[in-house]
Structure 1
Amino acid sequence: MENNRRNFLKTAGLSGLSLVAASPFSAYASTTKELETIGEQASKIRSQVFNMSGYAAPKLDVVRVGFVGIGNRGMGAVERLNQIEGVEIKALCDLRPERVNLALKKIEANGHRPQLYSGSADAWKKLCERTDLDLIYIVTPWALHTPIAVFSMNHGKHVCVEVPAAKTLEECWQLIETSERTKKHCMMTENCCYDFTELLTLNMARHGFFGEIAHCEAAYIHNLQELVFSKEHFYQMWELEEMYKRTGNLYPTHGLGPVCQVLNINRGDQMDYLVSMSSNDFVLGNLAKELAAKDDFYKPYVGKPFNGNMSTTTIRTKKGKTIMVQYDVSSPRPYSRIQLVSGTKGVALKYPEPARYSTGHEWMNEKEIKELEEKYMPPIVKKMGDIAKNVGGHGGMDFLMDWRTIDCLRNGLPLDQDVYDAALWSSVGPLSAWSVAHRSNSIDVPDFTGGAWQKNKPVDISMSKGGTTQAKV
């Protein structure tokens, strides 16, 4: 089956499409007809393989974890899992010895005695090959997400991988092939799905507050000018390189993930096709010139074709719903993921905060919103919300995500995000690049579930099972 799938990738042009990520304005080899049949052919092949949606792996009394990548977000992940019952941190890996040593100091008081890996670009392979690990937690630069995830699953490990899980469509399929064949979870750690407002909105949707949802809007708008040019923040300037090697919506999942759950994408509905458009870059190129005039370190970045300031992608689903997703990390704008959910009976809008709700021409007042929150607050927030806020991590959503993941693994429950979510949400990146490079023509979105979206069950936030794992706080 794996060979058949790889042959399909070649004949259908998916391997060619993956190259768009590296050279978005280069000629594309596949024909329009091939693009139009991607979803249909993929579904025929996908119907023959194991469905990971709703899959519950055998229970793990103790989840033995190895971390690969202990930079900015990786260190936070180590500290969070250090505070969850039933977790044994057995291995830490980073290129820099000082990072693994610092992580060790943060967790050894809780009895963790991990083996340390560093100094070699492929040290992570030795970690993943160990036979005493259940879960590999990947927090590396984007280019390593899929290679490490695939290698880990092939060596019998479940995977938590940072966003985006894949940079190309071929990588999306690699994740799916491997997860299905090995029956190992591949969860993209999309923390924004566990933000309290997003969870509230999801529960409201489940209980019909919005009626029939027709349209959602999402985004990742975050001014990162200083950080992407910082010599210390993104090790070896990897994110700045991403900004000129590709174009389109490079980081779609923070806003997209929560609204996909609200719309039951992959679980009752599916993306059909998308259109994407990007502005030119009016910021990063100029900033590179200004910095290079003062510091020769930045001269290699002068004249690079940086991604445009704003990328806007519109998606239509099989059931006729629409989604708008924006991406802008270089404009001096306040942070926003938009998070608009619009239905036939009501609407919610998170940004600018505080979140607002309405069933008519005007937003609800504070009293009405408080009553609404009390009525629809989901069980996971009632149980763990205060603890999560105390531990922290983007206001607590990071800890809530990690706690929920560990609790599901320990209780033998399906994870809230599966490999199809990881692939689909990440695929908007390379698909948007193709659309931008082709004068914003539409492109079909592959059905990574092989038609199973029509019967897959929605994400369960009722916590009717599980919830037994304690926090060490």
Structure 2
Amino acid sequence: MDDQSGLPRRGFLKTLGSLTVGLAAFPGLASAQVGAPSRVAGAKYMGGFIAPKLDKVKVAIIGVGARGPTHVEQVAACEGTEIVAICDLYEDLCNTSKNIALRADPERHKDVKLYFGDKHEYRKMLAETKPDAVWIATPWEWHAPMAIDAMNAGAHAFVEVPMATSIEELWKIIDTSEKTGRHCMMLENVNYGREELMFLNMSRQNVFGEILHGEAAYIHELRDQMNQVEAGRGSGFWRVHHRAGTDGNLYPTHGLGPVAQYMSLARGDDNFRRLVSFSSPAKNNQLYAREKFKPDSPLNQIDFSTGADINTSVIKTAQGRTIMIQWDESTPRPYSRLNLIQGTHGVGAGFPNRLALNYCWNNATPALRKLLNLPEDKPDQGSDYHSWIEGGGFNAFYEYFDHPLYKRMAAIGLKYGGHGGMDAIMNFRIIECLREGMTLDQNVYEGAFWSSVAPLSRKSVKEDGMPQNFPDFTRGNWKTTKRLEVVI
């Protein structure tokens, strides 16, 4: 019997089945959450994990070129640490960082062992020195294998951004963390910036009202890294090639990490759901190479056209909130992370720091009444959210909303520095959590979600902006995971 379409019924059903399979292949039309592989037998969820206290933290550091020496200096300065090993391809870099540790405390760090020369020398280091914690500051493609090897060797892994470069690697990191019972935290230092911590505090105190939208970015013109390609060494030596060959958001976490924690994504309140992404043409790197380097330079043999100058992605959360994320390392443009959080009562934004809040006399706390200049004799007058609170007006908010962690560690940040002190606060806080037996401020799943924007954006761009669903790295446990509160 034929149906009214003219197709035989058997052929119609076959066509319908094929169409259903085809629709499922399109993330924008499929269910909004990608299925997760089963948790390994005997493994445990690490969302609120607290490791046993460590009176002394034996630390090894892999990669001491650009970021590594900062970690050496700051971790070595923390009470209760011992730098047991430093590993890099280059012997001179190892020696320089060993001297940094010795200057911090020659007694505690007197037995630093050095490993260099071979890209797998770190495995020998792990086996021989048996560190409690490993800091990893190497090229991106080494982050996942080194973190996995460190956890399998019994150490907690602290990995520079991004945590990994593919969804498959992120799942391997999570499975290893859950199986070994070892932390794997991405070293997202921007979450410890003063303004970011203050906006987190204000979000927890409901100053912005119900959160609706966020904006995040990594806008940082880095074309001068091309000089390191000719030198044959340095972060630019490998990072420039990523910019040339990758079309998507290469570096999403600096802007996204703080915004995700304002929103409590993957922590009970909400979660990542799907993403769409588009890129601009790639022009500026090629122009820069032609202007700055000779025609026979290796830089002018690179085809930058397969990358992008600017990538813009939009995330939709499970609760329907939105986040716009931008990446741009190539255009002549001032540095910005955007750092915008918008709620029903107002907005906080960065670069420059500013606020706009909508409060009337009756629903503002005494502190907000003072900050917003709400007069006592006009209780019906509201704040002027049509103009920004900037400069000294913004700075006045620090008195009431500076994060307690920042106030407690501000002197540490000032002394040891690193991006305005955020690096030092992050590293001192990590050691504090390990020694005191406290849960970390960032868990392995957050690092995975934030890092996954990179591969998902690449896939969306390749498919002309088709939506990509986030895997649920928590396997549903985000719903019962406690949000990050305002830690003291």
Q: TM-score range by the shorter chain?
A: 0.7 to 0.9
Q: Which residue does the alignment assign to 1:276?
A: 277
1:396-436 deviation line (CA, Å, top 9, x unaligned): 00000001101000011111111101111000000000000
- How much has 1:104 moved relative to structure 2? 1.2
Does 1:384 pair with 2:396?
A: no
**TM-score, normalised by the number of residues in structure 1:** 0.87
Q: Which residue does the alignment assign to 1:443?
A: 468
Q: Which residue does the alignment assign to 1:253?
A: 253
CA pair 462-197 structure 1, distance change in 2 beyond 3 A: same
Gaps of 5+ in 2: 1-20, 359-384
**TM-score, normalised by the number of residues in structure 2:** 0.84
- How much has 1:180 moved relative to structure 2? 0.4
RMSD: 2.0
Q: Which residue does the alignment assign to 2:75?
A: 81
Q: Which residue does the alignment assign to 1:402?
A: 427
CA pair 142-448 structure 1, distance change in 2 beyond 3 A: same
**Counterpart-to-counterpart distance in 1, 2:478 and 2:256:** 17
Does 1:54 pair with 2:48?
A: yes
Larger CA Rg, structure 1 vs 2: 2
Aligned AA (1:263)? M
CA pair 446-47 structure 1, distance change in 2 beyond 3 A: farther
CA pair 229-437 structure 1, distance change in 2 beyond 3 A: farther
**Counterpart-to-counterpart distance in 2, 1:236 and 1:308:** 17
Corresponding residue pairs, total: 432
Q: Which residue does the alignment assign to 1:18?
A: none
Does 1:369 pair with 2:394?
A: yes
Aligned AA (2:193)? D
- How much has 1:176 moved relative to structure 2? 0.4
**Counterpart-to-counterpart distance in 1, 2:456 and 2:235:** 27
**Counterpart-to-counterpart distance in 1, 2:50 and 2:168:** 26
**Counterpart-to-counterpart distance in 1, 2:223 and 2:194:** 28
Q: Which residue does the alignment assign to 1:173?
A: 171
On the 8 A contact 1:228/1:234 being kept in 2, the answer is: no
**3-state SS of paired residue (1:90):** strand
- The share of aligned pairs that are identical, in percent, is 39
Q: Which residue does the alignment assign to 2:33?
A: 39
Does 1:196 pair with 2:194?
A: yes
1:60-459 pair list within 5 angstroms: 60-109=54-103, 110-111=105-106, 112=109, 113-130=111-128, 132-230=130-228, 231-232=230-231, 234-235=234-235, 237-267=237-267, 268-291=269-292, 293-301=294-302, 303-351=303-351, 353-359=352-358, 360-364=385-389, 366=391, 368-459=393-484
On the 8 A contact 1:285/1:306 being kept in 2, the answer is: no
On the 8 A contact 2:215/2:339 being kept in 1, the answer is: yes
On the 8 A contact 2:34/2:470 being kept in 1, the answer is: no
**Counterpart-to-counterpart distance in 2, 1:337 and 1:67:** 28
**3-state SS of paired residue (1:394):** coil
**3-state SS of paired residue (2:77):** coil
Name segments (4+ residues, structure 1) moved above 6 Å.
none
On the 8 A contact 2:314/2:322 being kept in 1, the answer is: yes
**Counterpart-to-counterpart distance in 1, 2:184 and 2:463:** 32
Which structure has more relative contact order (CA 8 Å, sep 6+)? It is: 1
**Counterpart-to-counterpart distance in 1, 2:256 and 2:195:** 14
- How much has 1:97 moved relative to structure 2? 0.3
1:274-320 deviation line (CA, Å, top 9, x unaligned): 1000011011123334455355333431x343421110000000011
- How much has 1:374 moved relative to structure 2? 1.1
Gaps of 5+ in 1: 1-29, 464-473
On the 8 A contact 1:311/1:328 being kept in 2, the answer is: yes
**3-state SS of paired residue (2:212):** strand
